[in-house]
Amino acid sequence: MNVDLEKIKAVGLASAARAGDIIRQYWNKAVRIEKKGAIDLLTEADLASEKAIVEIIQTAFPAHTIFAEESGIRQGSASCEWIIDPLDGTTNYAHRLPQVAVSIAFALEGTIIFGLVLNPLAEELFCATRGQGAELNGQPIRVSTVRNIRESLLVTGFPYELKPVIRPLMARFERCLMAAQGIRRLGSAALDLCYVACGRFEGFWEQNLAPWDTAAGMIIAREAGASVTDFSRAPFSIEKKEILATNGLIHEELARLLSL
Ligand code: 2AM
Ligand code: CA
């Protein structure tokens, strides 16, 4: 099947720009509001962002499937699918920590061929097209060249529902913490993947993510030279519950630390 990739990119970028404006507007509105009020604004920002993205994409491509976090449904032609997180890093947003993103990916017959992750507060736009590399604000990006875990800065995330996974999660965390130069926990899986892509981190792992958390970040990381697998080194797909993304050079070592 043939698609107009340039139009897909243009529409994806236009919808992200609109969503970014919305997220910034609510962010500025929330300055004088207490935390409880901030949570309502968060929900509003989340919903308004998704509504804007969906409207722009549906107007341009009425037959495409849209799979987005808040509506969570898949309808339309399965061969062309948009996978959308209108506001990744929601807890950060509620606490006014500017580590948030809009994440938009496009899949053709099940293969992601375009992805973008925009942090509208930091004004950083990551994007990638399959086979054409990855960019940050228009400049090509690559993974880091650090070769061992001892010199690596790693990033991870914790799921909302901790109880079922707390023991293996802490065991993995302990092993990696003892082995690495340092570990960060920033709260947006989409940005974590992009930070591996541009070499800020050597590796990222997390369990219990949803497809919209990883779809765009995964292609950005891969196009920047990252290895992206599950914890057992099998190729990652967005339906999987575990993700391990590294600069490639520390992949084996980190996978070994994660295997319990
Ligand atoms: P969110 O901010 O959109 O909810 C934090 O560890 C990262 O994981 C964020 O990207 C967060 O997305 C996501 N996340 C955490 N728990 C999740 C869950 N149970 N389902 C889906 N995504 C989750
Ligand atoms: Ca998310």
Residue 189 and residue 160 in one domain: yes
Q: Is the dihedral of CA 203, 136, 38, 213 positive or negative?
A: negative
Range of the domain at 55: 5-140
117 falls in which pLDDT band (50, 70, 90)? very high
- Give yes or no for a contact between 151 and 180, defined as CB atoms under 8 angstroms apart: no
Among all bound ligands, the one having the nearest atom to the CA of 193 is: 1
Task: Determine contact, residues 144/247, Cβ cutoff 8 Å.
Answer: yes
Does residue 69 sit in helix, strand or coil? Answer: coil
Q: What is the mean pLDDT of residues 225-240?
A: 97
Instruction: Give the confidence band of 260 by pLDDT, cuts at 50, 70, 90.
Output: confident
Torsion of CA 240, 209, 157, 192, to 10 degrees: 80
Query: 93, 118, 140 — which closes off a domain?
Result: 140
Same domain, 14 and 125: yes
Closest CA to 248 of 205, 202, 194: 202
Residue whose Cα lies nearest atom 15 of ligand 1: it is 159
> What mean pLDDT is predicted for residues 110-137?
98
Q: Provide the CATH number for the domain around residue 46.
A: 3.30.540.10
Mean pLDDT, the chain, rounded, equals 94
Q: What angle do CA 41, 42, 45 make, to 5 degrees?
A: 85
97 shares a domain with 30? yes
Q: Is the CB of residue 186 less than 8 Å from the CB of residue 91?
A: no
Do the Cβ atoms of 22 and 49 come closer than 8 Å? yes
DSSP string, 105-141: EEEETTEEEEEEEEETTTTEEEEEETTS-EEETTEEE
Which residue spans within the chain are E strands per DSSP? 64-68, 77-88, 101-108, 111-119, 124-129, 134-136, 139-141, 153-156, 182-184, 203-207, 227-229, 242-246
User: Is-contact 193 245, C-beta < 8 A?
Assistant: yes
* 118 and 15 co-located in one domain: yes
Q: Which 8-state DSSP code applies to residue 234?
A: P
Number of domains in the chain: 2
Q: What is the predicted pLDDT for the residue at 39?
A: 72
Question: Same domain for 205 and 113?
Answer: no
CA of 150 from ligand 2 middle (Å) equals 30
User: Where among 111, 140, 169 does a domain terminate?
Assistant: 140
Looking at the fold, whether 61 and 39 belong to one and the same domain comes out as yes
**Same domain, yes or no, for 86 and 33?**
yes
Instruction: State the pLDDT at residue 176.
Output: 98
Substitution candidate for ligand 1 out of 193, 209, 214, 238 with most atoms within 8 A of CB: 209
Using one digit for the tens of pLDDT, what is the confidence trace for 202-222? 999 999 999 999 999 999 999
List phi, psi (to 5°) of 152. Answer: -100, 140
Q: How far is the CA of 243 from the centre of ligand 1 (A)?
A: 13
Q: Determine the atom of ligand 1 nearest the C-alpha atom of 89.
A: 2
Q: pLDDT tens, 57-98?
A: 999 999 999 999 888 666 666 799 999 999 999 999 988 999
Under 8 Å between Cβ of 140 and 171? no
What's the gap in Å between 211 CA and the centre of ligand 1?
A: 10
- pTM value is 0.96
